[in-house]
Amino acid sequence: MDSLALKSPAESAPKRSFRQQMHLAREDAIVSAVNRLLAEKGFEAMTVDEVAAEVGIAKASLYKHFPSKEDLAAAAMVRVMQRAQSFLDGLDTRRPPLELLRDVARWTMEVQLAGEMPSLPSENSSLRAALATNKPYVDGLMDVSERLGTWITAAQADGSLNPGLPPIAVLYTLYARACDPVLGFLKGSGQYDNAQIIDMVLSTCFDGLKKR
């Protein structure tokens, strides 16, 4: 048997040089810093100088990795989308669709409360234009939307979600949980822990405000 066939993918893949590893490690640190700043301040308020300072590198060095503020933010948004895809991959899709949708909403709120969810850009932001042409982001968004859409229509078909609502309205409502200001307001009150906050917002999202 060919000896190459016995090698694992990790063994057969070309090894990165120390310089390449350092380059990737620095990019990872940059994207992590951008993610935190986007979650804390939003795209418009974040500056490239702040990113460079947080990572501890010169702004000129930062631009060697990402040539613009939009590229920086887009990389952070791509990472979050990849995290979402990984989370969906780990779900047991044999469970009822409504349970899956609740799990997704819970996860997005956990990420936001941990300060790891970038704030969505405003409608007229240059970041929106950059994301619209960013293939990894668009492909990830389409994948996540298709999977959630399948569960939404299945939940409407079995009666666990209101069938009178357009599926896209339900989808956008779920996406809105990733940037729901109610989470911050409740956390800022100091009256509730994260688990209590998430349970309350999940209830208002899926059960509404009517007395049950």
Residues in the chain: 212
In this structure, the number of other CB atoms found within 10 A of the CB of residue 161 comes to 20
pLDDT at residue 14, as a whole number: 66
13: alpha, beta or left? (left if phi > 0; alpha if psi -120 to 50) = beta
Q: 3-17, 101-115, 143-157: which range is least confident on average? A: 3-17
Q: Which residues contact 158 (CB under 8 A, 6 or more apart)?
A: 96, 97, 98
% residues pLDDT > 70 (the chain): 89
User: pTM here?
Assistant: 0.83
Domain with residues 16-206, CATH architecture: Orthogonal Bundle (1.10)
**Residue-range domain boundaries for the chain:** 16-206
For residues 194-203, give the mean pLDDT. Answer: 95
- Cα–Cα distance for residue pair 128/66, rounded to 1 Å: 17
The pLDDT of residue 8: 47
The answer for residues whose C-beta is within 8 angstroms of residue 90's C-beta and 6 or more apart is none
- How far apart are the C-alpha atoms of 207 and 212, rounded to whole Å? 9
pLDDT at 42: 87
For 110-161, the DSSP string reads HHHHTT-SPPPPPTT-HHHHHHHT-HHHHHHHHHHHHHHHHHHHHHHHTTSS
